[in-house]
A and B are shown apart, each in its own frame.
Chain A
Amino acid sequence: MSIPIIEAHNLTVVYGRKPALWNVDFKLPEKQVIGIMGPNGSGKSTLLKSIMGVVKPTSGFTRVYDQELEKVRHKVSYVPQRQEIDWDFPASVWDIVAMGRYQKRGLFKKLTSEDKDIVTDSLEKVNMLGYAKRQISQLSGGQQQRVFLARAIAQQGDLFLMDEPFAGVDIATEEMIISLIKDMKDAGKTLVIVHHDLHTAQSYFDHLVLLNTRLVACGPTSEVFTDQILTDTYGGRLTTIAKISQEMENKEFPMRHK
């Protein structure tokens, strides 16, 4: 592997007493489509959030392009989970996608006509230009997801972190997103995608991270998408980890004795 685009070292995130991620270690290659998979509550979203600096790690760290996130943040576009947002917010589709330009312009500078061209292009890429003036509460789930993608594209980053972009979208949108992802990969972008559907995993991803609070496996899809590893991730003995986490939370055990 050349320089890893994302590296996690001993990454541990604890909410209250409950570990969401536990000593996770991995390196991800550049210019690939990478899937992050695991059962519900296995820390997939938390992983993306800690890479983005949204959640502070309890211990350990992550690096992007072998640097601190702050130095390369402008290269990273984040697509949060659509369901975490209240879409009954007074804003149009255009307003939301324009947020993708805020990083470049900061909190106070006006958007230039170049920015507006970029917003227009991004909307066109996800087939939503006709909806630019639409109030966001009127969008379907698939359309909301397209708007979030357009916003990330408008950031013009090289690395895309997407949290469940396929959750609750229609087939047309799923096909559109996957072809967009292929195009982006061909253009040299790296995509890290939280995903939950095992059936499509093999066709969508070059590389997989399998999580169940701890890292179960990380490697090329052809190597890690095996029955054994999937059983380890989704069922069987590793759910012990869930019981331990619950026990730590209930009885307020510390992660490390100081």
Chain B
Amino acid sequence: MNFWEHITTFFSAENYTLFVVSIGSGILCFAAGVVGTFTYLRKRALIGDVISHSVLPGVTIAFMLTGVKNPVYFLLGAISSGLLSIWIVDYVQAKSKLKPDTILALTLSVFFGVGIVLLTKIQHSGNAAQSGLDSFLFGKAASMGMLDVQLFSVIAVVNVLCIWFFLRGFSLVSFDENYAKGLGFNVSFLKSFLALITVVTVAIGVQAVGVVLMAALLITPAAGARFLTNSISRMLLYAGAFGFLSGVVGVVISYSGTGMPTGPWIVVVLSVFALLAILFGKKKGVLARMRLRNANNIKINNENVLKDVYKIAKDGKNTISINDLVDQEKYAIAKLKSILKRLENDNHLDQIRGLIILSDKGRLAAREVIRKHRLWEIYLSKYFQLDADHLHDDAEGIEHVITPEIEKELIRLLERPETDPHHSKIPY
């Protein structure tokens, strides 16, 4: 069966179970992405790891006390031990001199260690009901019961509604806790409430991807979303969308082959989304920055060549031979040709039979660069006491950076000087 057939079967009524499981996982991951945005913004990424590992003893104790595999009991156990772990982290941090990373690592390993010990004990107890309990380690989204999925989805939706309702408070606390206190808001309530929502989300998310991968579900969507936007509400939206899509797609992929794990696939898909965001993010993305660097290089090359042409052609003429530029040995010939071609396309100059004719536009542009260069030299020598022979190199770089506004400011500051420190005239 090919992939497309899978998709059609997937959404048909026969496959109702898988449909529900994938949508359910999507909702869980959506909730984790939204809630995790605040974990990320408060720089508590590691707390996510602590909570997810700390739910394990809660789950095992819940099973030992009740002897049945009931999701409600598991959830209560998970939430209690998750909350306990956060409380311990905060308490130890307030009362001891231990560094935060030490406290986080210790809490995580103690809780997880106890959880594993209890789990092993249960597995050797001979209780037939225990089989499958170890799925908490790596998750069991694909084999989740319908009731589980419905229960978890409802809780996830409630969580997200709480975030939406308390958006203002949570943002305020994440940005500037002291100011929030100064305004008289109940900051410890807001923080505890946020912690509760986080723990509940982790407790249900663990059912999908397991304790080991849960932190990824919390933090990765937010980390990716941060590259796409500078608005917190959009960041929440994107993080939620990343989560939902990864949940659905991860389940579909894992179902399309036999013996493929669900949780890890969800996390792999999520990481791909985040990676794409980091690469293609509009402002901070890697590609955007490469484009910016490239544009800067083009600008620098264009302006340098225009400047050279203008200088060689001076005395009122505007025509030079291309050999004059080549003779300077500043540029490789192929590169020079491509720069000239670009300048010709922009109407800065014309090229006819080895001659370069500067247009009025090119002339103005060249004078602008020279003006900025000389203004910067004056500024440096006036305010920083640099020797005259150090000025040129610095200005050679800065002339391309100076914006029209900064140029205006320089002219005002320097009172519209006539000549630069080397006695060359400033071309206004």
By a beta-carbon cutoff of 8 Å, the part of chain A in contact with chain B is 16, 49, 52-54, 70, 73, 76, 78, 80, 84-86, 89-92, 95-96, 99, 102-103, 107-108, 135, 137, 151, 155
Question: Which residues of B are found within 8 Å of A95, using beta-carbon distances?
Answer: 232
Q: How far is the CA of A53 from the CA of B182 in the complex (A)?
A: 7
Query: Can you offer 15 A-B residue contacts whose CB atoms are under 8 A?
Result: A54-B178, A78-B182, A78-B183, A85-B175, A85-B176, A89-B174, A90-B41, A91-B175, A91-B230, A92-B230, A96-B175, A102-B172, A103-B183, A108-B165, A151-B179
B168 within 8 A of partner (CB): yes
B169 to chain A: closest CB distance in Å?
Answer: 5
B392 within 8 A of partner (CB): no
Decide: A92 and B231 in contact? CB cutoff 8 A. Answer: yes
Question: Which residues of A are found within 8 Å of B165, using beta-carbon distances?
Answer: 108
**Which of B166, B182, B184, B235 is the most central at the interface, judged by chain A CB atoms within 10 Å of its CB?**
B182
With CB as the reference atom, state the residue of chain B lying closest to A138: B230
Q: How far is the CA of A18 from the CA of B182 in the complex (A)?
A: 24
Q: How far is the CA of A108 from the CA of B169 in the complex (A)?
A: 9
Question: Which residues of B are found within 8 Å of A49, using beta-carbon distances?
Answer: 178
- Given known contacts A102-B172, A107-B185, A108-B168, A90 and B178 CB-to-CB distance under 8 angstroms: no
With CB as the reference atom, state the residue of chain A lying closest to B231: A90
CB-defined interface of B229-240 with A at 8 Å, one 1/0 digit per residue?
111100100000
Decide: A52 and B232 in contact? CB cutoff 8 A. Answer: no
- Given known contacts A80-B176, A90-B230, A91-B175, A52 and B182 CB-to-CB distance under 8 angstroms: yes
Decide: A54 and B231 in contact? CB cutoff 8 A. Answer: no
Q: How far is the CA of A151 from the CA of B172 in the complex (A)?
A: 13
By a beta-carbon cutoff of 8 Å, the part of chain B in contact with chain A is 41, 43, 97, 165-166, 168-169, 171-172, 174-176, 178-179, 181-185, 226, 229-232, 235
Question: Which residues of A are found within 8 Å of B229, using beta-carbon distances?
Answer: 90
With CB as the reference atom, state the residue of chain B lying closest to A53: B181
Neighbour of A84 across the interface among B97, B178, B226, CB < 8 A: B178
B44 to chain A: closest CB distance in Å?
Answer: 12
Decide: A73 and B230 in contact? CB cutoff 8 A. Answer: no
Q: How far is the CA of A91 from the CA of B135 in the complex (A)?
A: 40
B233 to chain A: closest CB distance in Å?
Answer: 9
Q: How far is the CA of A155 from the CA of B175 in the complex (A)?
A: 18
- Given known contacts A91-B232, A92-B230, A107 and B166 CB-to-CB distance under 8 angstroms: yes
Decide: A102 and B232 in contact? CB cutoff 8 A. Answer: no
A162 to chain B: closest CB distance in Å?
Answer: 12
Q: How far is the CA of A102 from the CA of B167 in the complex (A)?
A: 12
Question: Which residues of B are found within 8 Å of A52, using beta-carbon distances?
Answer: 178, 181-182
Q: How far is the CA of A108 from the CA of B166 in the complex (A)?
A: 7
List the 8 closest pairs (A to B, CB-CB), nearest first: A78-B182, A135-B230, A52-B182, A54-B181, A103-B183, A107-B169, A73-B184, A90-B232
Neighbour of B183 across the interface among A16, A92, A102, CB < 8 A: A102
Question: Which residues of B are found within 8 Å of A102, using beta-carbon distances?
Answer: 168, 172, 183, 185
Decide: A90 and B168 in contact? CB cutoff 8 A. Answer: no
Question: Which residues of B are found within 8 Å of A91, using beta-carbon distances?
Answer: 171, 175, 230-232
Question: Which residues of B are found within 8 Å of A73, using beta-carbon distances?
Answer: 183-184
Q: How far is the CA of A52 from the CA of B165 in the complex (A)?
A: 27
Question: Which residues of A are found within 8 Å of B230, using beta-carbon distances?
Answer: 90-92, 135, 137
B416 to chain A: closest CB distance in Å?
Answer: 21
- Given known contacts A89-B41, A90-B232, A135-B230, A80 and B175 CB-to-CB distance under 8 angstroms: no
Question: Which residues of B are found within 8 Å of A70, using beta-carbon distances?
Answer: 184
